Amino acid sequence: MNGKQLIAEPRELTGKNNNNRLRADGYIPAVLYSHGNSEPVKVKGKDFAKLFKGGISESIIFNIDIAGKSEGEDMAFIKDFQRDPVTGDIIHLDFFKVTKGEKIKTNIPIELIGTPIGIKMGGIFKHGERELFVQCMPRHLPEKIEVDISGLQPGELIHVSQITISDDVEILSNPENIVAAVDRPRAVADEAETDSESTEETTETVEEK
């Protein structure tokens, strides 16, 4: 959890007009969900921006302190968020409360490391999956998963099934999904296709004889 903390306040008034007033006062309307229950809250925009200055991710678990509640701090992560289509500002947040001793299911970002050697050989790089859907105990949740792609040559790719995190983290994403690939140069691909067609034609001629 790395000591990350966010202070939230109960939000008694809801609705579009009230939410707009909150935003004008520097707050972000939010909802804290937990096993079918929901609690309207608000967080200061500056505090949220400071905590997630590196980018918003479901893989970041933090302590959320609901001011004025005797229960103290709860752990949570961001399940969803909305941005203003014009300004790009965060205008609403959905938090999901983490229950101690219970596994969570969430997405963690994939960070590609290195430059494929196949690009220097004329290959075309393609980025596939950018997140992995995983299940694990909160304390085992990594903030990101690094995948080394420097050894990829033309015609090679990396599937989700080839990624390993740890025995404590179960990957739920489709194992056949592609994370990264380097396509063969067009000229080489066309040549291979031509050779294949020529082989088929030769085979058909022999069979006809």
Same fold, 5-100 and 106-196: no
CATH architecture of the region 106-196: Beta Complex (2.170)
d(C-alpha 62, C-alpha 6), whole Å: 7
Q: What is the pLDDT of residues 75-133, one digit of tens each?
A: 899 999 999 999 889 999 999 998 888 899 999 999 999 999 999 999 999 999 999 99
- Which tokens hold the place of 69? 């509640």
CB 19 within 8 A of CB 52: no
Mean pLDDT, the chain, whole residue set: 85
At 150 the pLDDT is 96
Contact 45, 28 (CB under 8 A): yes
Mean pLDDT of 10-14: 85
Judge whether 106 and 59 are in contact, CB under 8 Å.
yes
Q: Judge if pTM exceeds 0.85.
A: no
Contact between 110 and 145 under an 8 Å Cβ cutoff? The reply is: yes
User: What is the chain's alpha carbon radius of gyration, rounded to the nearest angstrom?
Assistant: 24
Query: According to the model, what pLDDT value does residue 1 have?
Result: 45
Here the tokens at position 199 are 């082989």
pLDDT band at 206 (very low <50, low <70, confident <90, very high): very low
Query: Of 4 and 30, which is predicted with more confidence?
Result: 30
CATH 2.40.240.10 is the classification of domain 5-100: yes
pLDDT of 46 reads: 93
The residues facing 125 across adjacent strands are: 182
Tens of pLDDT along 37-66?
889 999 999 999 998 887 888 888 898 888
pLDDT value of residue 122: 93
> Domain locations in the chain?
5-100, 106-196
Give 158's strand partners.
180
